[in-house]
Structure 1
Amino acid sequence: MCELSTALMIGGGVLGGAGQISSANAEAKAARYNAEVQRQNAVLAERQARNIIDSGSREEQKQKAMTTQLVGKQKAAMAANGIDPTFGSPLDEMVNTAMQGAIDALTIKTTTYRQADDVRNQAVGYRNQAALLTMQAKNSRTAGMLNAFASMSTAFGKAAANHAKLNPSSGDPTAKAGGAGSSGGFWANFWR
């Protein structure tokens, strides 16, 4: 019966170690998957930033065209009423209209680039998260192997102590005639 309990301790240690390795591999796989999701999010964010810039550029051009049309209408209306639009108040009115239109176009452009920068910053965050998850995947596997080794070493040590306790005649496995490197001692008796 004592050999069975020792064997069960060793078997439990091996199974525990295998479980830790399996768990670490699952954690690593999940981290790699999440890293890929974050990389895809970064790609989508970059596309979104380009779309924002394209859309903003179209809006800016539309605003400039509207301003040009408005100035043209003002000029035509003044000329139709016999007012010279090339000096004085009529000129000031058209200059103010053009200036306000330019400010509106610049506001559209500035807002567009701010929005695109915000989305690009999100893309950077996604890439950083992907890098962190990739490192986590590598570390999970390493930690799993180390934990499995520690678990199995502990189980083997407990099994050896249990065997020595239950078989006092075997004594210290390293105290036999051949020392630690001999084929005698605990392991020689264990495998019989």
Structure 2
Amino acid sequence: MIAAVSNTGGAVNSAIGSYYSAKSQASSLKFQADIADINARVAELGAQSELAAGERQVAAQTLRAGQIKGAQRAAMAANGIDLGEGNAAEVLASTDIVKEIDKNTITTNALQSAWGYRLQGTNAQVDALIKRGTAAGISPFGSLTTSLLGSAGRVASSWYDYTKIIENKGGKP
């Protein structure tokens, strides 16, 4: 009888433990999903920051190129060189080409860096979705029921053994 009662108590304790374990696991997954959402927002802020930094670098490069071109024009004009023809025109045109190449390089680098941040953000969003989906699939009551059903066999076996002992002694269970 003690074994049957003990098995019954153990089954109930195990079922309660399964319930709270499942509930804790679901809660933990939801928390991790919330953290992944935050990580996705931080990644987007990083992408926006990279794009803004690229714009500032393009502006600074454009200013420097303008200063260089202005200094070139002033130096050539001071030496009496016609700015619209020959080598002078080629030097000024090459300054404009170098400026465009630098601007394009800066813009490309900013876009690539922003893309990396956005990829991290997308991965974090996918992670959050997976964790929420997994958490939604966890049923504390299902765990409780499964645990009780799993323990029912042990309880029934103990009860059967108990009744056999009583019957062998000529009594009723």
TM-score, normalised with respect to structure 1: 0.81
Q: How much does 1:85 deviate?
A: 0.8
Q: Deviations over 1:35-57 (max 9, x none)?
A: 11110011011011111111110
Asked which structure has the greater RCO (Cα within 8 Å, sep 6+), the reply is 2
Partner of 1:89: 87
**Are positions 1:127 and 2:99 aligned together?**
no
- 2:144: which partner in 1? 148
Contact 2:22 2:143 in 1 (8 A): no
- Which ranges of 4 or more aligned residues in structure 1 deviate by more than 3 Å? 144-147, 168-171
Q: 1:108 aligns with which of 106, 109, 134?
A: 106
Greater Cα offset, 61-70 or 100-109: 61-70
Task: State the distance in 1 between where 2:115 and 2:146 align.
Answer: 49
CA distance, structure 2, for counterparts of residue 19 and residue 65 of structure 1: 69
Displacement of 1:109 in angstroms is 0.5
Aligned residues: 168
CA contact (8 A) 2:40 2:122 kept: yes
When the two chains are superposed, the root-mean-square deviation of aligned CA atoms in Å is 1.8
**Structure 1 residue 30, shift from structure 2 partner:** 1.2
- Contact 2:12 2:148 (8 Å CA) reproduced: yes
Residues 33 and 128 in structure 2, CA contact (< 8 A), matched pair in contact too: yes
Unaligned runs of 5+ in 2: 168-172
Task: Check the 8 A contact 1:53/1:112 in 2, yes or no.
Answer: yes
Q: Distance in 2 between matches of 1:135 and 1:170?
A: 51
